[in-house]
Structure 1
Amino acid sequence: MNIENRPIVVFDGVCLLCNRWVDFLLRHDRVGRYRLAAMQGNHGRRLLLTHGLSADDPSSFLLVEDGLGFTDTEALTRVLAGLGRGWQIVAWMIRAVPRFVRDPTYRWVARHRYRLFGRRTHCRLPDPAYVERFLD
């Protein structure tokens, strides 16, 4: 897959929960399928605005794949499914929960992420081993 065509995950670079998600992706995305963009960077901010999300405090992370934007549990399950067979099963189990239950729950956690999980004072700097995966 061409680097320019790889899906992009836009995340909150100061949110501790979001940074744990990025660590998870870096650990499990062994083929480098996903590129990463902090919402505080130029690429991340532009992508959020393009897909109708607040660039100042989105209630969800954003997955941009094939030019389409996905949020909430749809984004989460698509990313998990893209990690391979074992994670496809986890994505399927999440999708088994009715969307009218899982999306509001996801958004509640997202809105309260700083209070529940904490935040950094500065945006995450990528580990040199993964610097090519990060935009900005």
Structure 2
Amino acid sequence: MLNLPENKKIILFDGVCNLCESSVQFIIKHDHKDVFRFTSLQSEIGQQISEYIGVSNHNLDSIILYVPGEAYYVKAEAAMQIAKELNSWHKIIGYLSFTGKLGNFIYDYVASNRYKWYGKKDQCMLPSPELMKKFLN
């Protein structure tokens, strides 16, 4: 069984993707209710969570939102569920219907071009000491 923080939603992201890192920073800034914890898909805990919920992380082009004991979401649906929790006007995006085929088509298009458009790191991001509590290790 996984040892995860109680009452927190876990976001698994591509830790070497600049767009993904920027998205994580944005979520942290607008997560005023302290809903989320983060881990990269490449990390040991990220791999354990992926295996536990039965989602392959061999293709690291998807964001995963895991709500322990309830459900998990991938791609556009994960983004919409995350947006619903944010304290900003972006919360509205969470209530739009970008899930399903259209949402995932748009998501897949951006995901397949993210390294070309935004770049890639050689290693996963290291959070600052004050943000470390938001990350699982």
TM-score relative to the length of structure 2: 0.85
Residue of structure 2 in register with 1:47 after alignment: 49
> Aligned ranges for residues 1-136 of structure 1 at < 5 Å?
3-67=5-69, 68-84=71-87, 86-93=89-96, 95=97, 97=98, 99-136=100-137
CA contact (8 A) 2:32 2:87 kept: no
Q: Structure 1, unaligned stretches of length 5 or more?
A: none
- C-alpha distance 75-98 of structure 1, shift in aligned 2 (>3 A): closer
- C-alpha distance 122-82 of structure 1, shift in aligned 2 (>3 A): same
CA drift of 1:29 comes to: 0.7
> In terms of mean alpha carbon deviation, does 66-75 or 6-15 score higher?
66-75
> In terms of mean alpha carbon deviation, does 47-56 or 76-85 score higher?
47-56
- C-alpha distance 111-29 of structure 1, shift in aligned 2 (>3 A): same
> In terms of mean alpha carbon deviation, does 126-135 or 46-55 score higher?
46-55
CA contact (8 A) 2:81 2:94 kept: yes
Letter in 2 for 1:42: E
Letter in 2 for 1:120: K
Q: Structure 2, unaligned stretches of length 5 or more?
A: none
Identity %: 29
Higher helix share: 1
TM-score relative to the length of structure 1: 0.86
CA drift of 1:134 comes to: 0.2
CA drift of 1:44 comes to: 0.8
Q: Distance in 1 between matches of 2:107 and 2:24?
A: 17
User: What RMSD in Å do the two structures reach over aligned CA positions?
Assistant: 2.0
Q: Distance in 2 between matches of 1:74 and 1:10?
A: 14
CA contact (8 A) 2:30 2:87 kept: no
Letter in 2 for 1:115: K
